[in-house]
Amino acid sequence: MNRKPGIHVKWKTVTYRSVALLALGAVVLLLVAVRMTFPQFTASSVKAAGGLVSKVLERIAGMAPMAGSGVSTAQQAHFTALDGTVRVKKGNGNTWVTADYNVPLEKGDVLQTGSEGMAKVVFNDGTSYTVKQDSLIVIEENSANDQQQTNVAVAVSTGTVDLSTATYSQGSKSQVIVAGATASLAPESAAQVHNDPKGDQHEILLKKGSGEVTRNGETVRLADWEKVSFQGAQTHMEKAKEIGPPVPISPANMAPLFASGESTKDVEFAWTPMANAVGYRLRISRNPYFSSTLVDKKVNTADVTVTSLGEGAYYWMVQSYDVGGKESVESEKNRFTIISKGKQTEAINLELDPFVQHGHVIEVTGKTENGARVMVNGREVPMITTDGTFHYFTPPMPTGESVITVTAQTAQGGVNTQQKKIIIQ
C-alpha cells in the first residue's frame, strides 16, 4: 500500500536528563583534550574535575542526594525492656502483635501497655521512653538527614510516659505530643507526660534540663520541676512549680548487702529530707518497673528500717507528699542485692551471641544462669527470662573503636565478665 503524499513528522522524546548527560559527556571529552594539549594541567586537577563530574552524574541519575541537601531517611527504634502485657500495631497493618525485642518500631506504629505492662523504647538519637501501665503511644516521626540531624516525635494518646533525651546534633528535634500540645525538649533533659482523655486532664512535667510547650499559639518555657496542665476547653495552659522528689541515699545503687549466716536481713533506708514535705512514701520491688511491690508504706521521717528481706536483688524508690497529700514524682530507683556472707565466689555461666549492629546501636543477646543479673557497660539489663536468656540494645555509641563489657552476677556472689571490641564506622 502506497503512502499518501504529504509531510510526515517523526517525533523522538529527549529528556532533560539525556541532554544533561550528553553535555557532561562533552565536558569529559573536553577535559581529556585539555590534558593532552596542556601538559601543565596536573593530574590532580583533572582528578578533582572528574570527581565533580561524577557527583553531578550521580545526582542526575538519582543515585545519591547532594551533600547538605537535608534529605531525611526513616529510622527504627527498639525495645530495651519489656514487662507484662505489651502489644504493637504496625503503621501499615490493622492487627495487634505481642511486643518482642526483635520487633522494630517505625513511624506510624502504635504501642500499648496493659494494666501490668511496662516497656522501654530507645531511639537512634538516644531519646528513651518508659511507657507505664495502661498507656498508648503513637510514633509520629523518626528520621535523620545526611547532616546527622534527627527528628523524633511521639504522641501520648493515653497514660503516663517518662522520657529522657541524650546529646544530639544542633538542629535536631525531640518532641512529645499530648492532646494538641507539643513539648520540645533540649538535649540532656527529662520529662514526665500524663494524658487522661476521659478525665480531660493533661500534664507535662519537666524533671531536668529545659524545654517549651506550644498549644493554640501559646508557648510556655519550662525549667526543672516545672509543669503545664490544661483541659481541652481551656484556651491557656497553667504553669506550676512542683516539689522535687527526695534523693535516695542508702542502700546505694548497686550496693551488695551481706547477711551474716542468716537467710534474711534488716535493711535501713535513708533519703534526703524535703522542705514542705510532711511525709514520704517508700516502695520496694523485685523488678525495676514496680509493676508489683513487696513494700509500699508511708512514714513521716527521712529514714526507716525494713525487716526480714531475703536474699536476692531489690529496687527501691521514694516520694514526698505535702500537707494536702499531693505526692512528688518518683525518685531515682536504686538497686541493691542481699548476699549471704561466707559463700565462695565462683565463675558462673555466661554465653554471648555475636553482636548485631544497628547503626550506632549494638544489640547484645546471650544466656546466663537462672536468677543472675546482667550489666552491659555498667547499665543493667532490665529483664532476663526464667531460663537466663537476655536481650539488650545499647545507647548510641560513638564512631570508632569501643569495648562492650558484659557482666553476669548471682545473689550468691558468682560472677563472670566478658569483653569484646566493636568498631562503629
Note the pLDDT of residue 355. 93
> If you ran DSSP here, which 8-state letter would residue 412 be given?
T
Portion of the chain with pLDDT greater than 90, in percent: 47
Locus of grid cell 500524663: 194
Quote the crossing angle between the two packed helices 16-37 and 43-61, to the nearest 10°. Answer: 170
| Of 52-66, 105-119, 340-354, 395-409, minimum mean pLDDT range | 52-66
Q: Per mean pLDDT, which range of 122-136, 207-221, 251-265 is the poorest?
A: 251-265
C-alpha grid cell, residue 416: 563472670
Q: Is the pLDDT of residue 40 over 70?
A: no
Which pLDDT belongs to residue 22?
59
User: Is 43 or 102 the better-scoring residue by pLDDT?
Assistant: 102
Q: 46, 66, 48, 47: which is closest to 56 by C-alpha?
A: 66
Q: What is the pLDDT of residue 38?
A: 52
* pLDDT value, residue 13: 40
As a whole number, mean pLDDT of residues 348-363 equals: 90
Considering 69-78, 119-128, 186-195, the range whose residues carry the highest mean pLDDT is 186-195
**If you write DSSP's letter for every residue of 300-358 in order, what string do you get?**
SSSEEEEEEEESEEEEEEEEEE-TT-PBPPP-PPEEEEEEETTPPP-B--EEEPPPEEE
Please tell me the least confidently modeled range out of 185-189, 234-238, 323-327, 403-407: 403-407
Calculate mean pLDDT across residues 333-340: 84
At 282, the pLDDT band (50, 70, 90 cuts) reads: very high
Higher pLDDT residue, 423 or 1? Answer: 423
33 band by pLDDT with thresholds 50, 70 and 90: low
Average pLDDT value for residue range 114-130: 89
Query: Cell numbers of 258, please?
Result: 551481706
pLDDT score of 168? 79
φ, ψ (nearest 5 deg) of residue 18: -65, -45
Instruction: Specify the pairing of strand 350-352 against strand 150-164.
Output: unpaired
Helix/strand/coil for 230: strand
Q: pLDDT confidence of 385, banded at 50, 70, 90?
A: confident
Question: Which of these, 414, 255, 262, lies nearest to 341 by C-alpha position?
Answer: 262
Of the two residues 76 and 347, the one the predictor is more confident about is 76
User: pLDDT by residue (tens digit) across 167-207?
Assistant: 877 889 999 999 999 999 999 999 999 999 999 999 999 99
Residue 44 has pLDDT above 50, yes or no: no
> What is the per-residue pLDDT across 199-237, written as a single tens digit (0 to 9) for each?
999 999 999 999 999 999 999 999 999 999 999 889 999
Spell out the residues 6+ positions from residue 381 whose beta carbon is closer than 8 angstroms to its own: 373, 374, 375, 390, 391, 392
Q: Is the pLDDT reported for residue 45 higher than 60?
A: no
Cβ-in-10-Å burial (0-12, 13-18, 19+) of 1 comes to exposed
Peptide bond into 395 cis (omega under 30): no
Q: Are strands 150-164 and 173-178 parallel, antiparallel or unpaired?
A: parallel
Q: How far apart are CA 399 and CA 397, in angstroms?
A: 7
Q: What is the pLDDT of residue 153?
A: 95
What pLDDT is recorded for position 289? 78
Instruction: Check pLDDT > 90 for residue 61.
Output: no
Per-residue model confidence (pLDDT) at position 30? 58
At 279, the pLDDT band (50, 70, 90 cuts) reads: very high
pLDDT of 197 reads: 96
For the segment 17-28, the average pLDDT, to the nearest whole number, is 54
Residue 68: the pLDDT is 53
Start-to-end CA span in the chain (Å):
69
